[in-house]
Amino acid sequence: MKKLGIVIIVFALSFLPILTSAKNKWVAPNAELAKPTGTYEFVKRDTANLMLDFYKPTEGSVTEVNGKVKPAIVFAFGGGFVSGHRDKEHYQQWIKLLNDNGFAVFSIDYRLGLKGAKMGGIKTIGAVRHAINVGVEDMFSATCYIVEHASDFGIDPNNLVLAGSSAGAIIALQSEYELCNRTKLASVLPAGFKYSGVISFSGAIFSSHGRVKYADAPAPQLLLHGTDDRVVTYKQIKVFRLGLFGSSKIAKRLDKFGYPYEIVRYKDHTHDIADLMYYTFPEQLRFLEESVIKKTGRTVDIMMDDPAVPVDNTLRTLSDLYK
């Protein structure tokens, strides 16, 4: 049973968003694209030199609240740890909305830890864990670079919000989880550093130590997820102490310990929410304004059935990948 459970978890992780590497059907018609202000190398790895694109706020937009610069967003793309890129059109449409509302955005590279990996048996779980860990490591390296060069970018180094889509959402949530639990991975960050928030588009947390728990209080988290998502589980897949914990389970744990969070449960949606960030922007903006900027400490739990958010259920389960 334990072995079967591990296989299920690994299978779910290994094939996350194959849809994001297919034809880009998520581009909103007639929406403008953001254009990077500049591209920067933030770290050299053995396998690649990793880059980030910086998008400054739109000229004339409101970039400050009560004399403080709005938070900057650090975004990780989706692609199942095997594919994807930081400058896809539907990401740039979403970034344009953020820029128009006065937010700077960094869209980062990370190593694709499952690309070319040998999968099978017990090696698979190690490969998946490695893929997540190197993604988190790269997110932390990007964070260090951004903090070090904050004055050049015109941002507040103590006011960064993580965001990610699918595999990138796992990286964003996992990064905050590692930081709050003071793990070795997080030791590279500046002393006392904290993120200001996390925005997850269909993400999850991977744990080999049982249920989700935080040694330090986490930043406010916005969890957007389709209730019928079985690619990155909306609920959880757990075998003994090994588990992949989706948005619904994360929210339950955050609620138990009184940590601020917002979850938007998109009724009857599947993994499409990972790529519909342009259409779910109103919820994101409210989160940034209320939970991150005003620090209201609020808890919001919404079951959303909004006809303005298009539904694409062609990827409801893992078996749909092979149709």
Of 38, 243, 53, 48, nearest in space to 138 by CA: 48
Give me the number of domains the chain comprises.
1
CATH number of the CATH domain containing 270: 3.40.50.1820
Q: What is the DSSP secondary structure assignment for residue 181, as one 8-state letter?
A: T
Q: What is the DSSP secondary structure assignment for residue 86, as one 8-state letter?
A: T
Grouping H, G, I as helix, E, B as strand and the rest as coil, residue 292 is helix
Q: Please, which contacts does 187-195 make with residues 24 or more away whose CB atoms are closer than 8 Å?
A: 188/137, 188/140, 188/141, 188/144, 189/140, 189/143, 189/144, 190/144, 190/147, 193/143, 193/147, 193/158, 194/158, 194/219, 195/160, 195/161, 195/162, 195/219
pLDDT for residue 22: 42
pLDDT tens for 126-137 read 788 899 999 999
- For CA atoms 215, 219, 220, 222, give the dihedral sign: negative
Considering the chain, what is the average pLDDT of its residues? 90
pLDDT tens for 249-281 read 999 999 999 999 999 999 999 999 999 999 999
pLDDT tens for 87-122 read 999 999 999 999 999 999 999 999 998 887 776 666
Residue-number span of the structural domain to which 86 is assigned? 2-322
Report whether pLDDT(218) > 70: yes
